[in-house]
Structure formats: structure tokens, C-alpha cells
Chains A and B, each alone.
Chain A
Amino acid sequence: MISGGAFQTALRSAAILAAFTAVSAVALSGFHIWTRPMIETSLRAKKTSAIAEVLPASLYDNDLFCDIFDPESIPEYPPNAPAAVYRARKGGKPAALVVETAANDGYGGKIGLLIGLRADGTLIGVRVTEHHETPGLGDYIDLKKDKNRKRPWITQFDGLSLDNPPEREWKVKKDGGRFDSVAGATISPRAVVKAVRNTLKFVARHRDALYDEKNVREEKGKRCDAPR
């Protein structure tokens, strides 16, 4: 038997805990609704400036955020395929793609990448957007951390394509390929080279679907014109 007093106390504690939870939940959801548009705007600004590094503004005239590829239009979309593909067009014609992807085999786990490539398949540029590589060792894959200011490591991708160099040379020099790496820190560049090569292969295989205007991702609550 539970004595009346103890039961009362337990009930009172439960009610107080529930009240605190309710207040917290209301505060959190109210705040979320209030701040979400502002947070989205600043995230958008951040992404826009990141994209600008791999896609010159002169190359396109459409709104990239209203022209994101819909992954469901490729049957059995591979799990390691790009997280998002922005389609850049000029005068309605395919101009370039900006691919948001990741290398999952960095020394410190996931390396986020932004890859810009022209419609003819040549790379405009590659940037590391997120990484956990060892500071001062493997982090030279990140342009901001690269000590080689004259010719940063990540810029050696500029202008390359899937057949320049040939596919079997899309490796770091240590593995018999074409790409430089710093001695003692080859895991990070190896992961990046592999991810860029895989992206080029993916784009080559699905080029038509990737540029197809019908395959546009539905954006919830966004002010985009409906695709014609």
C-alpha cells in the first residue's frame, strides 16, 4: 500500500515536472517558429557565398535555390551519391552544376565538399566545406588552412575532367596517380580525390537527368515559380 502522503507528494512532483516541461516546450517551439525564417536566410547567405567560390556569377542567370535536382528522379539513387545538386543555367541552357557531396573516409570522418563543374564536364573548382582532419597535418585540403598560399592543394582540380587525367590516374601520387599530397598526410587528400572522381563519374552517367528541368526538387514553403 502506498500511504496517502507519499502518493500526494509523488503526484505533486509529477505535476510540477509536467508544468516545467510544458513551459519549456512552448518556449522552444515559439522561438523556433519565430527564428526559423531568419536562420534560413543566414544559412542561405552562407551557402550562397560558398557556392560563389566554385561557380562564377557570370556563368549563370537562374535562381540556384529554385533549381535543385530531385534525387527521386534517378531510380535507386546510390546512397553515396551527392546530397544536393544545384543546376546553373544561362538563357535557359545548361551551364554548370554545383554538387554538394561528402567523402566519408577522411582521417577524421566526413569531409564535406562543394564541387562546381561546367556543362562540358570540366571542373571549375572544388572546396572543402566541413572537415575534422588533424590541424596542421591533414587540414591542408581546406583552402583556408593550406600553408601553400601560392598554389593551394585544392586548386589542382581546377580545369580537370574525367578523361584529363585518365580515370586510372585519379589518385594521389603515392598510389600511382596524378595528384600531389603532403608526406605523412595522404589519407585526407586520397579521400577528396576519390570523392571528386566519383562525383565526375556520377555526373557523366546521369548528365541528362541531372540537367532535366522536370527533375526539380519540391521546396516546401519556398517562393519559387512552379516548374512549367
Chain B
Amino acid sequence: MPETLISDLNRADVFSSLKEGQFELILGAFSARLASQSPELVDFLFDVYRDVPANLELQEVTDIALNVRPPNVFRKYLRPQVIPDPGFKVPAVPLPKKMAPLSLEMGMNLSVALKCCRFLTFHAGAVANENGGVLISGASGSGKSTLTTALMQEGYRLFSDEFGLLSLDKAEINPYPRPVSLKGNSISVVRDMVGAEWVSKSIMNTPKGEIAYRRARRSDIEQANVPAPVKLILFPSFAENISPRAKKLTKAETIMRLIESATNYKLLGEAAYKALTDMVVGAEAYDITYGDTEECMQMVRDFAGEAGL
């Protein structure tokens, strides 16, 4: 069956499919069944997810099932709000109705982090070119998403700005090219870098401040089933007005840090230990502190060259 992209679909059809909880999104490592009554969500899908394959009627069971819904029947009438409901108890913050897209993104991220055990999952950005992949591990605020975007500009394909998904049987990461989430100052940095037409309009005053999304490119999505071996691992941290510094990490340091950043390391046991150590054997790792994205990229280009990328 030929793939239908969201942009090929009719808006009213998508909305009624969402209302019936039949909407199926097929994107790399994980498929999702979505349900929602929110017109804001339809707008968001047509903008940010426009090149993603989708079905109006569920064709197969999905990895993720998410209902972006009002917190309860009463609240719907009091003040319009939405929460992501992935079918299990999470500390989800109810958001104003216009923030339904944020609710969708948070809900999908939670589902991947807490429910999916097929991969060893790192809290990391990931990109790859034809020679191999780069894993960018860092907490929020480390510049993970900005660096992911900058590497996309250099010809790398987007895997994810949030999850490094390592196969358990070989040292390969797997794409899940959802939109790159940008916060605060990084929004204008990325708009300048890639052009305003590639970045969604901002959602203001969210619990995380201003948020916007950088769309995945059609080429990222078309290759969403092609994994890549990890060659380079970066641990960036961002600080204002700091001259760039980098330190090569030992394998032992790298392993320690990656175990901390994996959401399901303990759960996956021996398979996770083997996959992680195998990956580190085949990759170079650096700790990077930077205050300017371009300065950081100059170092990253060198490291990538040395790692054979």
C-alpha cells in the first residue's frame, strides 16, 4: 500500500479520524494511535508533521496510544485544558487548550521513555550521515536540540532530538524523526540558521517558557527505517559567554555517563550492558562546554572527521 502523507489528507477527515481515535502516525521506530478533540492539534499535525506517513483508519496496532484530552468532563466546561493520556499514571500537567501540541509531544516522549523496551533508550539527540551516527547526550538546557539542528544543516539526517535508540543486538541507533523541540533563545538561533519557514509558530507561556518546533525534513522521514552505527558521542553543556572547551573522555567515563542518561538500562539488564559497552568501543567521546553554537560546531566538525564521519 503506498504511503499517504499528512499533507495529502483532507483536514476534516483528519479531525474526524482523531475524534474517533483512529488516526495512525507511522514514523521510524514507533507508530502511534492518536485520539483528540482538539482543532489546535489538527493545525499542528498539518504544519509540523506534514511529511509524515499517516492513516485515517487504524491499519495495525501501534507502539504508542495517546489521547490528548481534557482532564475531566467538568474541567472541559470550566476552563479549556488538555492533558496527554497514554493510559498509565504520569505526573502530567494540565495545559491550556491552545497548548495541545505541547501535550502531544510530552505524551509521546513519556510513552517512549516509560513504555518502550525494544531499544536501550538514551536521553540524547541523534543524527547520522552515510558514514555513521552522532549521539548528543545532555540534560535540557545543554543545547542538545540546537546542536542536533546545526548538524542537520551540515547534511546529517535527523534521528531525534530527544532519544538515542540503540538496538540491543548491534551497536546501531534507530531513527525516530519527530520535530525538534526548541525553547527560549534557541528558537531565534534556529530560525536564523534554517529559515523561519522550517520552524513552527511559537507557543508562548508554557511551563517551559516559549516553545517552537523545527520540522523534520522529508529526507529524514523517508530514511526513518535506516539505522546507523554510532561513531561519535558528545556531552555538551551550554553557558553564556564562555570560550569553547573540549575534553576527550575515556571509555570508562563515557560508559558511566551513558548509563546515567539511559531511561531503561536497568530494566534491559545484560542486553543493555552489552549493547552499551559495544557502542562505546566503536565510538569516540567528548565533553564540550560552549557559549556559541558556531564555535562549538567548529570543534564538532574536527571530532567528526577524526571519528571517520
A and B are partners in one complex rather than unrelated chains? no
Query: Residues on B close to A: CB < 8 A?
Result: none
Query: Residues on A close to B: CB < 8 A?
Result: none
